Chain A
Amino acid sequence: MTESVGTVRLTGGWRTIIRDQPIIPLVVLLVALVAVLELAKPGIVNGNWVATTMRAAIPLAILAACQTLAMLTGGIDLSVGAVASMAAFLMATQATGQGPLVAIAIALVAAAVAGLVNGIAIGVFKVHPLIMTLGMSLVVLGLMSVYQLLMVQSGTLIPDAIQWLGSGISFGFVPNSLVVFVPIAILIVVGLRRSGYGRLLFAVGDNPVASRLAGARVWQVLVALYVMSAILAAIAGILIAGLNNSATVSLVEQSVLPSVAAAVIGGTSIMGGRGGYSGTIVGALILTVLTTLLTVLEMPEAVRQVLFGAIIVLVAAAYTRVTGEA
């Protein structure tokens, strides 16, 4: 299970573990948080709690997959919030007239177009990913607000299948969204380590010039990456619409920072070339449990924001110390 690429001086046993298998300390942290939660409110941890926690963590983990993939190449995708909201809202408004399948197809195609524009600007025109994706989120949000006014007559409809997928729980402890998430997770975790494209992502992030000289078509890698990221964001947006049984143009906006946080906590470096998806999944679970804990302790939303920010800085600093790189 070696997910990190790169050569770093080995300085000690535990450092090697954190660097090569960040998932072990992360799982320990997750278990500790669950224990604290159980202490804070005895009896809360049961089958239903497991299901609702996973149900909330899955869309976040998919959004964090966008960040993980982008960060491996040294980029970031801050347009996931806008693109995911767009997909959810398009799906909900189109579903009233077109039926669910067509509506979902429209949503995915629109997201792919946004991702394609991101990818071309970043890969071909060398625009900084941060600026490009922030700008794209403005464009998408503006266009969707206009679209919203046009569609005010038709209303929104979340198809039953999407509700079942986003919010349903089977056998008392299995969230139905696992049907979508498990294939995605396996594809990303295995694909990153075993496929040529996965290795290209690491290579581009580690050293773009060297990978270009070695024959990699960096711009194609980046275009494919941002299209993929947008489609993943759209899937997450549709799941969130099913979970909340509603869709608005700013539905997912508040999940953008947590998605970056989950990837950073999971051990992916924003400078590129180091990280993996399994850590990100645990990172998303940690953030979800932490949110529950703060809700149980009756902390206001503001405290959650401050804590999330502080945790990102702390964890990123810890990784930087341990690995000797950023």
Chain B
Amino acid sequence: MVDAVASWGRRNVWTLGLVGLLVVFLALTKMIQPNYGAPGIQGLAISILPIAFAAVAQAIVVISGGIDLSVGSMMALASVTSAVLMKDQGDAFGVAVVVGVLLLGLTAGAINGGLIVATKVPDIVVTLAMSFVWAGTALLILNTPGGGAAPWLMAVISGPLGNPWLPKALIVLAVIVAVVWLPLRRSTLGLTLYAVGSSPLAAFRSGVAVGPTKIIAYALTGFFSALGGLALTASGGVGAPVPGSYTLQSVAAIVLGGVSLAGGRGGVLGPIIAVIVLALVRTDLTFLGVDPNLSTAIQGAILIGVVMFGSLVAMRKVRA
């Protein structure tokens, strides 16, 4: 039993470190701003929801050995589609829209993956190009921020559930990840995702259909990006056609969250915690009166620093 715990700890040392970092930053926030309490946590939970979904989306595709630079654009597409369709419509229709947008995300992701597999063009080129296709499509659907969100959708993520320290947004995130990702990871499909990311050739020789697995990975990324887009619509009440920096933030979060860019290693819990840590850094900087523009630069510096640290550790391992 103790051995099992110890080995789990060894395998998840990065995630445990992140949890420690999270606690440190929460304490720091409380020290800087003694009033920081339940409302602050609720606001934090709502504001991180879209980025958290984006991070999960990016984590899945990177684990399977790819990278998707169109996450932000697919979020924008999902956001405007849901906002345009939901405006002034009934609740039942709103549910249909949510299901439809999730299918749209799944399809967009599958198109990304299908193009990569069919053309054999590097993932970076295809998804960078597709990021413009999806962003352009989003602009065609809605030129300026507008539309509306169904009231129930906004209610699902705002406010607490029972205890004021338990924001609904966090529960929504936990439930969706638990329902979609956990069973998947335990399944054969989850295993093949890791196998393909770890070594496509070895996976192929072990009888894994590498192409279809990649397409599924990209489709899942599209699905979670669509969830991120829905979260954007729900938290803002309108659809936003401009992708923002979500793609970049998702890459930052997975790198900080312990997912190897080489593929085959990592999970989705680390990236989610990393998103919260990064959001707390931004909150703290705001409390300290630092110019929000400077905090953009600091976040970039943190991203670079973390990646450098990660590759230094990797280089040490190779030498040892």
A-B complex is real: yes
> Provided the pairs A126-B315, A257-B128, A316-B126 are in contact, do residues A138 and B299 lie with their beta carbons within 8 angstroms?
yes
A121-B304 Cα distance, complex, nearest whole Å: 8
Secondary structure class of chain A's binding surface, majority of residues: helix
Q: Which residue of B lies closest to A137 (CB)?
A: B300
Task: Determine whether A113 belongs to the interface, using a CB cutoff of 8 Å to chain B.
Answer: no
- Give the contacting residue for B139; candidates A134, A140, A149, A302; CB below 8 A: A302
Q: Is the pair A134, B307 in contact by a Cβ cutoff of 8 Å?
A: no
Secondary structure class of chain B's binding surface, majority of residues: helix
Task: Determine whether A303 belongs to the interface, using a CB cutoff of 8 Å to chain B.
Answer: yes
Task: Determine whether A141 belongs to the interface, using a CB cutoff of 8 Å to chain B.
Answer: yes
A326-B123 Cα distance, complex, nearest whole Å: 11
- The residues of A that contact B172 with a CB separation of less than 8 Å are none
Task: Determine whether A306 belongs to the interface, using a CB cutoff of 8 Å to chain B.
Answer: yes
- The residues of B that contact A271 with a CB separation of less than 8 Å are 122
Task: Determine whether A103 belongs to the interface, using a CB cutoff of 8 Å to chain B.
Answer: no
Q: Is the pair B248, A134 in contact by a Cβ cutoff of 8 Å?
A: yes
| Binding stretch for chain B, among A35-43, A160-168, A223-231, A307-315 | A307-315
- Give the contacting residue for A264; candidates B125, B304, B312; CB below 8 A: B125
Tally of contacts, chain A with chain B, CB under 8 A: 142
Q: Is the pair B133, A320 in contact by a Cβ cutoff of 8 Å?
A: no
In residues 201-246 of chain B, which contact A (Cβ within 8 Å)? 245
Q: Is the pair A149, B300 in contact by a Cβ cutoff of 8 Å?
A: no
Give the Cβ gap from B141 to chain A, nearest Cβ, in Å.
9
Q: Is the pair B132, A308 in contact by a Cβ cutoff of 8 Å?
A: yes
Question: How extensive is the interface on chain B, given as a class?
Answer: 35 or more
A141-B120 Cα distance, complex, nearest whole Å: 34
Q: Is the pair A313, B115 in contact by a Cβ cutoff of 8 Å?
A: yes
In residues 252-298 of chain B, which contact A (Cβ within 8 Å)? 252, 255, 261, 291, 293-298
Mask: chain A, 259-279; 1 = CB below 8 Å from B; 0 = not: 011001000001100000000
Task: Determine whether B31 belongs to the interface, using a CB cutoff of 8 Å to chain A.
Answer: no
- The residues of B that contact A154 with a CB separation of less than 8 Å are none
Q: Is the pair B130, A149 in contact by a Cβ cutoff of 8 Å?
A: no
- The residues of A that contact B307 with a CB separation of less than 8 Å are 121, 127-128, 131-132, 135
Give the Cβ gap from A66 to chain B, nearest Cβ, in Å.
15
Mask: chain A, 130-156; 1 = CB below 8 Å from B; 0 = not: 111011111111110110010000000
A136-B307 Cα distance, complex, nearest whole Å: 12
Mask: chain B, 94-126; 1 = CB below 8 Å from A; 0 = not: 000000000000000000000100111110111
Q: Is the pair B311, A302 in contact by a Cβ cutoff of 8 Å?
A: no
Q: Is the pair A135, B304 in contact by a Cβ cutoff of 8 Å?
A: yes
Task: Determine whether A300 belongs to the interface, using a CB cutoff of 8 Å to chain B.
Answer: yes
A321-B136 Cα distance, complex, nearest whole Å: 27
- The residues of B that contact A141 with a CB separation of less than 8 Å are 296-297
- Give the contacting residue for B296; candidates A76, A126, A138; CB below 8 A: A138
In residues 271-317 of chain A, which contact B (Cβ within 8 Å)? 271, 300-310, 312-313, 316-317
A302-B73 Cα distance, complex, nearest whole Å: 13
Please list the residues of chain A having a beta carbon within 8 angstroms of any beta carbon in chain B: 76, 121, 125-128, 130-132, 134-143, 145-146, 149, 257, 260-261, 264, 270-271, 300-310, 312-313, 316-317, 320-321, 326
